[in-house]
Amino acid sequence: MQTLTSYVQGRWHTGTGASVALHNPTTEAQLATASSGGIDFKGVLEHARSKGGPALRALTFAQRGELLDKLSKAIHAHRDELIELSIQNAGTPRSDAKFDIDGAIGTLAFYGRLGAELGARTFLYDGPGVQLGRTARFWGEHVLVPRLGAAVHINAFNFPAWNMMEKVACALLAGTPVIEKPGTPTALVAWRIAELTIASGALPEGAFQFIAGSVGDLLEHLTSQDCLAFTGSSGTAAKLRGHTNLVRHNVRVNFEADSLNAAVFAPDLEAGSDAFNLFVANVALDMTQKTGQKCTAVRRVFVPKERVDELTAEIVAAANAVKLGDPSDAAVRMGPLASADQFRDVRAGIERLAKHAKLATGGAASIREKGYFVAPTVFVASDARNAAFHAEEVFGPCATILPYSGDAREAAELVGLGGGSLVTSVYSNDTAFLEAAALGIGPWSGRVWLGSDKMAEQSLAPGMVLPQMIHGGPGRAGGGEELGGLRGLSFYLQRVALQGFKGVIAPESFVASKAAAPSA
């Protein structure tokens, strides 16, 4: 049995008092315990602010990029071990484990390269300068400078590696020390990555701290230069949003929460076309990859009403072709849900949806004697406007097919009933349809993914979050934004308007020795 320790104030700490148990969701056997009892959380923050922050801020972007590159390599060197831990603790087949772990390695490497490109500077210019006076002598610039606090990162259980390291990459490159708290049910992978991070010796002391278990009273001690980035359910996000201390100090926050992501199938697509096949494959992939426990997974599938039967049959066949079972079996593509709580919540969610829609395949029944297994579940609804389909995220292998007229504007309106999503995919070869859908859906979705025959062969699935592109979404999706290349650094930096003599503040003057800075 493993005891997950925390790395705080320069040493590994074994928690005292009550602990939380971590299980293997395939066998239900207990694997580890986690407890953060006895941690001086105020001291953790002070350690980050007094040691990690100054050490990181003394480095240039290029030097911080080198640290990220070293971390990426240190994790890559233990990739097989991490994949094995993920199979055991998260119930992920090898392909899903790789999705998480390679995502962490790749995002660190991406931000490492970005650091190298930014070179020897320590702050960024933000957009072009503006003339404020009668002549260019009185000038304005916006710059982004590192803030002086610490970043607290509270992460979800479903991507223990990627979710932690995508946040770490942006924060460390910006010069901000981090305090990482993974979702406890699958924390074994995050904990091992924390061990590798510390053992790599890549980071200055205080730049990275790790908490296994609860964050205790940590949030009580955050002040105005600190920030909190949260990924998880909208219920927890709502609680944290109202946290008295965060409100009192106006602590900068970023929330990534639930999302009822949608796929829209346009009427022009013919059966067997590349975009048609891509739609079916992507919906089935989203439902079954990580057993549907993906924040970007599709939950609502809008199809023209006269094609509901045809597309339901295709999606059901594709989802049922995915081999389900023990994730340690190399042939298996979908494992169990990650925890007993997930098993309970997903089955209850499926039962609630069953009151409003016809079951096409799957259902709430447990399908194995041991382990937290449910089958891929497809519902077909007759009324796409029924609030039941737009209100609750069933965080498992479950999606509902909803009929619409085939009009792009109506599709956009229906997508909006979800109150804000991370990603919406639209499939069509009709440019006018794609354009109307993209612009109509844009206000409701952080990312709009446009599938057509022309890009089918090269495309990466809509559920895949790329470091080059922003991740986040409005409304129920949390209203936050992460990644997106340099954009991901802004959360950790302070945007300052500089006004003065152009000869002092313009990039060619102010940082003459450090080359003209690109915009963030």
Binding site for ligand NAP (CB under 6 A): 154-159, 181, 183-184, 214-215, 231-233, 236, 239, 256-259, 295, 393, 395, 422, 477-478
Tokens of 304: 């023209």
Comparing CA positions, the residue from 78, 89, 98, 91 lying closest to residue 2 is 89
Give the span between the Cα atoms of 3 and 62, in whole angstroms: 37
204 vs 478 by CB, closer to ligand NAP: 478
Q: State the amino acid at position 60 in one-letter form.
A: T
96 vs 326 by CB, closer to ligand NAP: 96
204 vs 232 by CB, closer to ligand NAP: 232
Comparing CA positions, the residue from 254, 74, 32, 289 lying closest to residue 155 is 254
Smallest separation, CB 149 to ligand NAP (Å): 18
In terms of Cβ atoms closer than 10 Å to its own Cβ (0-12, 13-18, 19+), residue 274 is middle
Residues 6+ apart with CB under 8 A from 47: 8, 9, 10, 206, 209
21 vs 367 by CB, closer to ligand NAP: 21
Smallest separation, CB 455 to ligand NAP (Å): 24
Q: Is 295 a catalytic residue?
A: yes
Helix/strand/coil percentages in the chain, nearest 5: 40, 20, 35
First to last CA, the chain: 46
252 vs 502 by CB, closer to ligand NAP: 252
Smallest separation, CB 501 to ligand NAP (Å): 44
Residue-wise burial string across 325-361, b where 16 or more C-beta atoms lie within 10 A, e elsewhere: bbbbeeebbbbbbbbeebbebbbebbeebeeebeebb
Smallest separation, CB 342 to ligand NAP (Å): 7
24 vs 155 by CB, closer to ligand NAP: 155
Query: DSSP class of residue 307?
Result: G
Phi, psi of 68 (to 5 degrees): -65, -40
Q: Are 166 and 483 in contact (CB under 8 A)?
A: yes
Smallest separation, CB 296 to ligand NAP (Å): 8
Smallest separation, CB 409 to ligand NAP (Å): 27
Give the span between the Cα atoms of 465 and 484, in whole angstroms: 10
Phi, psi of 311 (to 5 degrees): -75, -30
Smallest separation, CB 209 to ligand NAP (Å): 15
Q: Is 227 a catalytic residue?
A: no
Give the span between the Cα atoms of 76 and 79, in whole angstroms: 5
Q: State the amino acid at position 510 in one-letter form.
A: F
220 vs 407 by CB, closer to ligand NAP: 220
- DSSP H helices, 330-462, are 340-354, 388-391, 408-416, 431-441, 453-456
In terms of Cβ atoms closer than 10 Å to its own Cβ (0-12, 13-18, 19+), residue 306 is exposed
Tokens 């995002």 belong to residue:
107
Q: Are 225 and 149 in contact (CB under 8 A)?
A: yes
311 vs 346 by CB, closer to ligand NAP: 346
Question: Which of 170, 227, 295, 398 is the catalytic position?
Answer: 295
Question: Which of 256, 314, 393, 482 is the catalytic position?
Answer: 256
**Closest residue to ligand NAP: CB criterion:** 232
Smallest separation, CB 427 to ligand NAP (Å): 23
List active site positions.
256, 295
